[in-house]
Chain A
């Protein structure tokens, strides 16, 4: 199997996997970074969202062989002490129910706020449309993103 060197959360990591292995499964099975979740495998639910050079990307559809030294950030590497403004806002609003989708929600929101630090509510709703929360904690996700936006800007 070919060898790939990945830049994950600021660390260089080496893996031996097939070229067609999605980044999601490299993270979960090879690197034990299980915060990135498997939900659908076809980029429809957003549970597997990570950052590639800061941009929210579905890791279930991104093949390891298509990465070329880009910086990969997972929920584990979003902040050093779990205190990213979104993580803080998530606690403040008490967002999760089952909690399974929340890492993907936070990663989507983090990239969105980087690109648009001062969003309207409509922009937040549009940005988060791609992430399914099966428990439907949507009101609180919306509120937490808005609170984090205030802290960021």
Chain B
């Protein structure tokens, strides 16, 4: 098993810089991702303290003369909670009371920062060492400054809760020694706390933006206002595979409040081949108005004609994907042993096909962005997971140096992967540069759902060979629209557990745009694989939990460095879940389903309980066990797992987007079903306590949910589900699940 330790040491060269602030206080910067990423460039060797400013580093600690601490968070907050949990780690080692800490969002700055991306559940895992070192080193500098003032040896002094104490019992608050501390050498190899001494890590800290959220203060992209700003509503082709032929703006221009109607898209189109990454570019029409409502009304009044190229439908995709699964054109992603031989010698072969639809992200805050492109600068404000990519694209598109591009990242009303793709920020910049005004682009819900970068439709065919009561071979084929599973995924369970193992992928290229969606690929794969194992357990006459534990013994001690999941940690997680959820001991009328899945460096097991109400299966409870190492902020962690489980249930149960001649089947919530409160079970969350370094939680709670409820529904109704959304494929009499 590969152990991924973040290796770095504190040094002035690559890590910390300090300076006294003109207005009092001390500023400490740390380059978080230089510390984490091998490929990151190091700042220059000689440090000119006078040149330091707030933009020099990925994040900062600012300590005021009064001892209050401001921590600047480099990466955007999409609801995953890192704006709260990352500063907690610094505050722990700095040893300040949490209520003395203020958290502020840093702006994007490519010149000085290295990696401002939100995604992949990696912030906590990658930041763990660097954040702790930063807090501890800062604390040591404050101690050193106090010791110097007292004229005593620093080793005789201690610091706790923002106060430094010497052997005589004299004290200094942190704020009283910040000026002196800022002038000191940065100490190296400062000792970190023993986890048993933690005072903040492992305790509940509520969302740092809580007060603003519950009182409706401006926080999100759509809340941003600027004097002189206008609004833009954009008309895009209604169907994938269409292009604008012509349009008549007479009626739109007659709408009260409409300022202008422009065709655009050429600028973005001219550079799309030069920049890596998806970009939705077609010629589009923007209605510019002095209010959001006028812009939306104006858009509705546009009369446009469209040219049709290739219009695709779900039945085409189904046919193409099944053709791939039936064919021989695959890329082999992993192969162990001899699958062909195992299958040839088998007593029995079980083969099943699993099918999923497209899914829109449906962030509740629709896509939007503010742009002010003027002679001096390109000022962009809004919700984006990938500011660096956006800045690069926009600089190229506008033929401006990247230094001109300034991005302010707002709190995001959900991300789920959609805001990795910056089509809306590019649109805002192009429109502003065309009309020479600051503008906010606002997607309607119909724009948001209809012009998505959807979770692609995927089909899996999984086969297993059984010989003498054992699983001897495993063969998984993936057929997906546009792109295939990440390189890591073929090495997840059951890789390493079954001697003869093969994963192959194939894809069909479509003009329907697709991309990452919360827990990419595994959001559906986990259901397919884990209901397959449930069926295998049934076939072998084994307990479903025991079968998984038995298989996991085979991966323990593996030397295969591609395999990142741990047999032991997975087993411990499974056992905890089975114990807390009383596996196998369900009371009369309660049906259990089990699922365990490793993704995004976190091991998760979930046990679902289903009851029948008027013959219909209702998910009543889910017990989740999670191994994410040390739990930094339990309340935030539980929230992430509960949300992930319910999100996973909702999309497995109801999530469905199909296409007819390029038109998506839904554009708003009147005909797209999201899980709502009455369909939600209670989710109970337990964490494996092992003291290991923490991993992320934004995604890994989601993938096992679909498998857990599918297996419970099988136990309750006898029906095996092979396709999502389940509500569509449950037997007719079971179809109308309470809603």
Report which A residues bind B (CB closer than 8 A): 1, 17-18, 20-22, 25, 28-30, 32-42, 44-45, 47, 74-76, 78, 82, 87, 90-91, 94, 96-103, 106, 125-126, 128-142
Contacts and interface: CB of A to CB of B under 8 A. Distances in A.
Contact of A35 (B206, B216, B670): B216
Is chain A's binding surface mostly helix, strand, loop or mixed? loop
A13 B364 CA distance: 29
A29 B669 contact: no
B445 interface: yes
A22 B678 contact: no
A91 B293 contact: no
Given A97-B639, A98-B78, 5 more contacts: A41-B445, A82-B214, A98-B414, A103-B213, A134-B364
B363 A134 contact: yes
Nearest to B255: A18
Q: Give the interface size class of chain B.
A: 35 or more
Contact of A25 (B79, B291, B413): B291
12 contacts: A41-B296, A82-B215, A91-B214, A94-B210, A96-B209, A96-B214, A98-B78, A98-B415, A99-B213, A103-B216, A136-B643, A139-B682
B445 A98 contact: no
B676 A129 contact: yes
Given A34-B222, A98-B413, A99-B209, A40 B674 contact: no
B646 interface: yes
Contacts, number: 185
A40 B643 contact: no
Contacts of B204: 94
Nearest to A89: B214
Nearest to A90: B214
Contact of A44 (B222, B412, B442, B669): B669
B225 interface: yes
B137 interface: no
A41 B291 CA distance: 15
A135 B365 CA distance: 11
A51 B373 CA distance: 39
B214 A25 contact: no
Contacts of A126: 678
B412 A98 contact: yes
A106 B219 CA distance: 17
Interface centre among B77, B364, B442 (most CB of A within 10 A): B364
Interface in B215-253: 215-220, 222-223, 225, 231
B635 interface: yes
A75 B216 contact: yes
A74 B216 CA distance: 9
Nearest to B676: A129
Interface string B251-270: 00000110000000000000
Contacts of A94: 204, 206-207, 210, 635-636, 639
B677 A142 contact: yes
Nearest to A81: B215
A58 B413 CA distance: 19
A139 B216 contact: no
B602 interface: no
Contacts of A134: 362-364, 414, 416, 647, 674
A96 B213 contact: yes
Nearest to A88: B214
Contacts of B78: 98
A38 B295 CA distance: 15
A33 B217 CA distance: 8
A98 B677 contact: no
| Max count, chain B CB within 10 A of own CB: residue among A28, A135, A139 | A135
